[in-house]
Amino acid sequence: MRELDKVLEKNEKVLWEGAPNFLPFVFSGSQIGLAGIVFFAAAIPLILIARKTLWFLILFFLIMGLLMIIWFPLYKIFLFRKTYFMITEKRILIQTGIIGRDFGVVDFNKITSAAVLVGFFDVLFGNTSGSIAIATAGPSRPYLISNISEPYEVFKILKKYSKSA
């Protein structure tokens, strides 16, 4: 559900808005799933070598691996339904959250740099999606407009209104 209007100012002009593309969004950041495969695979030699003496360790690796493989894509599927992005003439708005709603707001005068990122899953699932990473001053993590269609066109809009991007 899109709720960005709740944080828009009265006369704020929207230049672009969008949501992520489903498949690249769900599979991006799948390093956790890959780590789950490693955990799962680590249990196989333990099963072959010492079945009875290390049963708790085997069980731990199997459960952790399975949780990592299943949970992260499931989390991204739930997150997808509530993720929206908006660029106005003043700032960038990012809505996320599974249960509650979280809004990230980046004023253009706070942006220190921005970059377009086209990842493996963007290319694999359509070749027209990508992400825009936005850095601000201070020790905060970059804001991410993730897996959107036509990221270069959106980046041009961002660059036109932001002096630092």
Global confidence as pTM: 0.79
Task: Provide the percentage of residues in the chain whose pLDDT is more than 70.
Answer: 84
Residue with tokens 């936005």: 134
Instruction: Based on the fold, state whether residues 47 and 64 are members of the same structural domain.
Output: yes
* 104 conformational bin, left if phi > 0, alpha if psi -120 to 50, beta if neither: beta
Task: Provide the percentage of residues in the chain whose pLDDT is more than 90.
Answer: 39
126 belongs to a structural domain: yes
4 belongs to a structural domain: no
* Domain with 60 in it: 31-77
Per-residue confidence band for 120, with pLDDT thresholds at 50, 70 and 90: confident
